């Protein structure tokens, strides 16, 4: 007999207790397993995802714009990080700093774009002058493009790889 | 006579632990308390290479009519703390080939340990929905000596067990979940305790040679006349690596000396020295591999240069044990550990901007992290004899303390890959850390069936940070100014396991535990808690078939972590973020249907999700395999007689399946099948073996991450894009070994 310890005995008090205990244990296991259901049920479908799980922090950038463009073409920061960005114009004409929105396509009525706050934009800075913007990075991760929207620079939204456009990577 | 006395003592020890302790009566060979001085499975895969010996006459003699004093020596293990409290014996550890000591943990149900891309880096451990980067999150000990480094810059609780020479690992006790009050810092998902010893006494010299010009030599001295716990061993390994820029070497010495100071007192001293260094190739982008621009085992030019890792460690410790009446025990273990670690790794190419001087950028994201620490500590516990307040109740109590004090110097800098000159500094700090932990464990059995074991634990954590860059870097939001920050807190917790054996072969159990893990010093601000909290529950059953022919377990679990370690590529390592939850089921079986055959298998299904600080967001923890299947089969025994001597043989195969890895919420990683196999023969003092790792030559990745980088074959900073990044796993590796025993 493989299991010789009385599990098959009928009508014994001990056997009933054992069977009930077994049922209780199985129910407990099944109950715990049932708790493994989809917790996404409570999610806000419009809340942006966060791929690396890291949010916040503080970052400082010190950009210079000369006749050839920005001194740094890639900026990186965590989503929701506080950024202090200083733009110094070493050129001879005014230049600005703006960050384009990125599309966040969806079909459930959520916002279809993600944008940096308005305070991230620096209006045209005169030659040999500088300006500082302090802002919070948006929550939606991705590669945003920044540029100077002054006429003669890159007034319209940037396309990937366009001249004069830098990348602001929100991670 | 000496051996006979020792065997008799071991027999009495086992008997006393099984009966005298009162609360340890399980027939499960993996969970039964066991004295470390008792004879163990052979360290050699082929045991003695001799016929089974006849029973020892001395051991078989009936006990004398005059009651003799029974002296219990060695370490008695407490009762099982949860269904994942398992002792993995030597025969199971070597059921299939494993190159490094950390990889031996893969023999335990639910575990998978990867093979890191370089000597000197702690292995990643997958367990219960966690991808424990460099072991951070699993508490490891060697005897009573801790291995983890709680505030390591590569991750809190960094644990590199590869300084232990695999041949001297006698067994490993794993505890899945924080269900034992003895578990301290870093035990958020469990613990692994290495028991060292060489059961097959004598001397051994071995050498291996194989793929990629890998050479290894190992020597072990375990004199037969010495104490069974006494040995000295050394090991050295060198390899050219399986691809570009992967050469490395390591060397380690382990020595343990045990002596009886009297009939009730025993002293065991351990010392080790270890050094390892390797070059690293870094990551390659999946799109570049698919397009044929770069090979999986290649390295990018320019910004990928200069990657390497170097690690060294010295540990000294002694354990004094005193055996009292009725199985009472006192243990005192002072220890010292010095570690030095330096890593240079670039994950993203050239995205970073200097924070010391924000005008500087695009020099290459080669992060150099260093961690140098000197730590001292003390572990002590007093286990009572079995108390019987009534016929229906048996109780064993154990108060214990754990003290650890350390000074750590940490730096994180950005280096120019071609010159290794620093162009930015991110961390430069001196850290004093202090952990005073105390617990009170109660192991009670009622009516010889219901067992309740556990108790409270509290750790006083004090951390003083001297931030040498406080005036050079932008402050974190909410952070208090000042170069010196002191943070203190008490991490309380309660752990309990309830078992009720309905029959000796069917044991349901429920466990609950609260654990903790220290937080990275760089994130600590005055007033904050210096630790993250963990809460875990599990429920399940354990089946035992008599004669240990089959042991099976199944449990469902849920673990909630207050804060989390995550891989953050562009910052050069791990960072802390908010809470997460893991749920799943683990099932395992260990079968020994006949003496010469052992088979073990385990499968775990897990779901791991973050709950970030963004309200309402919940998403998958990347790189966690939803399904992890492990299976090992080994057969051993006499295969022939050769010139009058038996020819012993062993064959073993191990299989691993990793499936359902979310790289992001929308990108799934591929499914991996990995097979290791080994065969060995031994005649008398000579053993020859061939081991094959990744026998199917799966060209997969050890690690896959999706993030933004600008890796390129062109010089200079290139535009960045999102991509999947691969750290190559080793291709098929063959090793032939020759061992001499004398």
Judged by DSSP in three states, B548 sits in helix
Question: CA B284 to CA B349: how far, in whole Å?
Answer: 10
- Per-residue pLDDT reduced to its tens digit, B70-116: 554 444 556 889 999 999 999 899 889 998 899 999 999 888 988 76
- What is the secondary structure of B507-534 as a DSSP string? EEEEEEEEEEEEPPGGG--TTS-SEEEE
Measure CB to CB from residue B502 to each of A21, A40, A44 and give the nearest one: A21
Name the β-bridge partners of B657.
B629, B673
Contact between B616 and A43 using a beta-carbon 8 Å cutoff: yes
Bigger pLDDT: B191 or B36? Answer: B191
Residue A37's pLDDT is 40
Contact between B621 and A49 using a beta-carbon 8 Å cutoff: no
Mean pLDDT of B327-347: 96
Nearest to B432 by CA among B150, B25, B11: B150
Structure tokens at B235: 């090991």
Name the β-bridge partners of B654.
B632, B676
Residues contacting residue B537 through CB under 8 Å, at least 6 positions apart: A32, B510, B511, B512, B513, B557, B558
Assign residue A164 a region (left: φ > 0; alpha: ψ between -120 and 50; beta: otherwise). Answer: left
Contact between B502 and A161 using a beta-carbon 8 Å cutoff: no
Distance from CA of B609 to the nearest CA of A (A): 9
Least confidently predicted of B570-579, B655-664, B719-728: B570-579
Residue B62's pLDDT is 45
Residue A104's pLDDT is 83
Residue B355's pLDDT is 86
Check if the beta carbon of residue B278 is closer than 8 Å to that of residue B245: no
For the cut 50, the answer to whether the pLDDT of residue B357 exceeds it is yes
For the cut 50, the answer to whether the pLDDT of residue B4 exceeds it is no
Residues contacting residue B189 through CB under 8 Å, at least 6 positions apart: B127, B128, B130, B132, B137, B138, B176, B177, B178, B534, B536, B559
Judged by DSSP in three states, B108 sits in coil
- Per-residue pLDDT reduced to its tens digit, A60-116: 999 999 877 899 999 999 888 899 999 999 988 999 999 999 988 777 778 888 999
Residue B697's pLDDT is 93
Strands in B112-113's sheet, in edge-to-edge order, are: B112-113, B125-127, B130-132
Judged by DSSP in three states, B398 sits in strand
Least confidently predicted of B41-50, B296-305, B613-622: B41-50
Considering only alpha carbons, which residue of chain B is nearest residue A40? B618
- As a 3-state breakdown, chain A gives helix, strand, coil percent values, each rounded to 5, of 15, 30, 50
Question: CA A36 to CA B608: how far, in whole Å?
Answer: 10
Contacts of B362 in chain A (CB under 8 A): 72-74
Question: CA B297 to CA B316: how far, in whole Å?
Answer: 39
Residue B2's pLDDT is 44
Which run of H or E residues covers position A23?
Answer: helix A13-34
- What is the secondary structure of A24-91 as a DSSP string? HHHHHHHHHHHTTS-GGGG--TTSPP-SSS----EEEEEEEEETTEES-SEEEE-TT-EEEEEEEE-S
Judged by DSSP in three states, B389 sits in strand
Residue B10's pLDDT is 41
pLDDT tier at B478, thresholds 50, 70, 90: low
Q: What are phi and psi of B59, to 5 degrees?
A: -70, -25
List strand residue ranges (DSSP E) for B12-92, in order: 85-89
Least confidently predicted of A12-26, B192-206, B538-552, B679-693: A12-26
Contacts of B618 in chain A (CB under 8 A): 39-40, 42-43
Judged by DSSP in three states, A119 sits in helix
CB pairs under 8 A between A and B: 169
Residue B340's pLDDT is 98
Separation of first and last alpha carbons in chain B: 21
Considering only alpha carbons, which residue of chain B is nearest residue A2? B545
- Per-residue pLDDT reduced to its tens digit, B118-149: 788 899 899 998 888 888 889 999 999 999 99
Count of other CB atoms within 10 angstroms of residue B278 = 23
Name the β-bridge partners of A26.
none
Measure CB to CB from residue A54 to each of B538, B577, B584 and give the nearest one: B577
pLDDT tier at A15, thresholds 50, 70, 90: low
B61 touches chain A (CB under 8 A): no
B558 touches chain A (CB under 8 A): yes
- Per-residue pLDDT reduced to its tens digit, A47-66: 666 666 667 788 899 999 98
Nearest to B531 by CA among B455, B457, B475: B457
- Per-residue pLDDT reduced to its tens digit, B267-304: 999 999 999 999 999 999 999 999 999 999 999 999 99
Contacts of A42 in chain B (CB under 8 A): 616, 618
Tokens 């006393």 found at: B16
Measure CB to CB from residue B614 to each of A18, A35, A139 and give the nearest one: A139
Q: What percent of chain A has pLDDT over 70?
A: 67
Helices (H) and strands (E) in chain A, counts: 1, 11
Question: CA B607 to CA B201: how far, in whole Å?
Answer: 46
Q: What percent of chain B has pLDDT over 70?
A: 86
Alpha carbon B189 to its chain centroid, in Å, reads 11
CB burial of residue B263 (10 Å; 0-12, 13-18, 19+): exposed
Question: CA B349 to CA B243: how far, in whole Å?
Answer: 20
- Per-residue pLDDT reduced to its tens digit, B417-445: 999 999 999 899 999 999 999 999 999 99
Contacts of B570 in chain A (CB under 8 A): 76, 171
Nearest to A47 by CA among B721, B611, B564, B661: B611
Mean pLDDT of B464-488: 73
Nearest to B189 by CA among B139, B133, B123: B139
For the cut 60, the answer to whether the pLDDT of residue B452 exceeds it is yes
Considering only alpha carbons, which residue of chain A is nearest residue B664? A51
Measure CB to CB from residue B477 to each of A7, A82, A167 and give the nearest one: A82
Considering only alpha carbons, which residue of chain A is nearest residue B666? A51
Distance from CA of B62 to the nearest CA of A (A): 30
Structure tokens at B544: 């035992």
Question: CA B293 to CA B714: how far, in whole Å?
Answer: 11
For the cut 60, the answer to whether the pLDDT of residue A38 exceeds it is no
For the cut 50, the answer to whether the pLDDT of residue B688 exceeds it is yes
Bigger pLDDT: B671 or A106? Answer: B671
Residue B474's pLDDT is 62
Average pLDDT over chain B reads 86
Distance from CA of B20 to the nearest CA of A (A): 25
Contact between B609 and A39 using a beta-carbon 8 Å cutoff: yes
For the cut 80, the answer to whether the pLDDT of residue B408 exceeds it is yes
- Residue B149 sits at the vertex; the CA angle it makes with B613 and B216, to the nearest 5 degrees, is 120
Residue B117's pLDDT is 64
Distance from CA of A127 to the nearest CA of B (A): 18
β-pairing, B484-499 vs B450-467, is antiparallel
pLDDT tier at A8, thresholds 50, 70, 90: very low
Question: CA B606 to CA B103: how far, in whole Å?
Answer: 21
Judged by DSSP in three states, B164 sits in coil
């Amino acid at each position: 007999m493989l299991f010789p310890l009385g599990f098959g005995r009928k009508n014994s008090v001990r056997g009933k207790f054992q069977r009930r205990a077994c049922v209780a244990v199985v129910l407990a296991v099944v109950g715990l397993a049932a708790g493994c259901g989809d917790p996404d049920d409570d999610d806000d479908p419009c809340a942006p995802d966060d791929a690396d799980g890291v949010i916040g922090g503080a970052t400082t950038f010190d950009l210079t714009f000369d006749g050839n463009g920005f001194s740094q073409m890639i900026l990186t920061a965590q989503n929701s990080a506080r950024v202090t960005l200083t733009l110094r114009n070493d050129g001879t004409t005014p230049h600005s700093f703006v960050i384009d929105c990125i599309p966040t396509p969806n079909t459930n009525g959520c916002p279809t774009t993600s944008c940096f706050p308005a305070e991230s934009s620096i209006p045209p800075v005169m030659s040999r002058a500088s300006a500082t913007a302090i802002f919070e990075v948006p929550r939606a991760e991705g590669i945003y493009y920044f540029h100077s929207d002054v006429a003669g620079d890159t007034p319209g939204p940037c396309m990937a790889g366009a001249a004069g456009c830098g990348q602001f990577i929100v991670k | 006579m000496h051996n006979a006395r020792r065997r008799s003592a071991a027999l009495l020890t086992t008997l006393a632990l099984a009966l005298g302790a009162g609360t340890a009566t399980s027939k499960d060979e993996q969970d039964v308390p066991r004295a470390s001085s008792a004879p163990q499975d052979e360290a050699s895969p082929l045991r003695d290479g001799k016929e089974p010996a006849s029973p020892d006459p001395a051991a078989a003699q009936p006990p004398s009519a005059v009651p003799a004093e029974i002296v219990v020596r060695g370490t008695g293990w407490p009762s099982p703390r949860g269904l994942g409290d398992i002792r993995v014996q030597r025969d199971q550890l070597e059921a299939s080939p494993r190159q490094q000591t950390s990889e031996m943990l893969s023999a335990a149900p639910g575990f998978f340990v990867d093979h890191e891309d370089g000597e000197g880096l702690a292995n990643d451990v997958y367990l219960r929905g966690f991808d424990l980067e460099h072991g951070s999150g699993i508490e490891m000990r060697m005897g009573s000596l801790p291995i983890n480094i709680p505030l390591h810059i590569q991750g809190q609780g960094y644990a590199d067990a590869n300084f232990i020479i695999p041949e001297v690992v006698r067994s490993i006790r794993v505890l899945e979940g924080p269900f034992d009050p003895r578990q301290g810092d870093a035990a958020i998902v469990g613990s692994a305790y290495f028991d060292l010893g060489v059961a097959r006494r004598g001397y051994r010299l071995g050498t291996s040679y194989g793929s990629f010009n890998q050479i290894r030599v190992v020597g072990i001295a375990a004199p037969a006349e010495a104490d069974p716990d006494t040995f000295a061993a050394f090991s050295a390994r060198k390899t050219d690596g399986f691809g570009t820029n992967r050469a490395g070497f390591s060397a380690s010495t382990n020595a343990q000396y045990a002596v009886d100071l009297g009939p009730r007192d025993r002293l065991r001293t351990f010392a080790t020295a270890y050094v390892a260094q390797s070059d690293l190739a870094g990551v390659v982008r999946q799109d570049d591999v698919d397009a044929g621009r770069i090979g999986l085992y290649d390295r990018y030019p320019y910004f990928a240069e200069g990657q390497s890792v170097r690690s060294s460690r010295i540990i000294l410790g002694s354990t004094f044990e005193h055996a009292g009446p009725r199985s009472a025990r006192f243990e005192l273990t002072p220890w010292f550990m010095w570690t030095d670690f330096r890593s240079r790794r670039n994950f993203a190419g050239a995205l970073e901007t200097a924070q010391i001087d924000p005008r500087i950028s695009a020099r290459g994201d080669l992060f150099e992290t260093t961690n140098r620490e000197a730590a001292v500590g003390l572990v002590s516990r007093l286990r009572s004899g079995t108390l019987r307040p009534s016929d229906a109740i048996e109780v064993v109590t154990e108060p214990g303390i754990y003290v650890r004090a350390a000074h750590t110097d940490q730096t994180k800098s950005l280096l120019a890959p071609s010159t290794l000159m620093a162009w930015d500094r991110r961390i430069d700090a001196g850290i004093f850390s202090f952990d005073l932990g105390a617990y009170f464990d109660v192991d009670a059995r009622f009516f010889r069936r219901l067992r309740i074991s556990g108790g409270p634990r509290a750790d006083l954590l004090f951390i003083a940070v001297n931030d040498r860059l406080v005036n050079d870097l932008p402050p974190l939001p909410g952070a208090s100014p000042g170069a010196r920050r002191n943070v203190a807190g008490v991490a309380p917790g309660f752990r309990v396991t309830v078992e009720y054996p309905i029959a000796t072969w069917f044991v349901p159990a429920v466990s609950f535990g609260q654990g903790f893990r220290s937080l990275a010093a760089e994130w600590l601000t005055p007033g904050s808690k210096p630790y993250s909290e963990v809460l875990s529950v599990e429920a399940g059953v354990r089946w035992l078939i008599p004669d240990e022919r089959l042991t099976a377990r199944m449990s469902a679990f849920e673990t909630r972590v207050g804060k989390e370690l995550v891989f953050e590529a562009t910052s050069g390592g791990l960072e802390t973020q908010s809470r997460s939850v893991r749920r799943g089921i683990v099932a395992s079986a260990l079968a020994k249907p006949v003496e010469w055959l052992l088979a073990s298998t385990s499968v775990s299904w897990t779901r791991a999700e973050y709950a970030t600080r963004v309200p309402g967001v919940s998403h998958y923890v990347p790189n966690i395999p939803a399904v992890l299947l492990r299976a090992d089969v080994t057969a051993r025994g006499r295969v022939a007689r050769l010139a009058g001597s038996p020819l012993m043989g062993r064959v073993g195969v191990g299989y691993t399946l990793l499936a359902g890895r979310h790289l992001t919420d929308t990108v799934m990683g591929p499914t991996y099948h990995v097979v290791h196999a080994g065969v060995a023969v031994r005649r008398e003092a000579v053993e020859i073996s061939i081991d094959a790792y990744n026998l199917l030559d799966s060209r997969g990745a050890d690690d896959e991450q999706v993030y933004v980088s600008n890796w390129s074959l062109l010089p200079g900073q290139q535009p960045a894009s999102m991509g999947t990044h691969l750290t190559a796993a080793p291709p098929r590796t063959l090793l032939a070994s020759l061992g001499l025993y004398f």
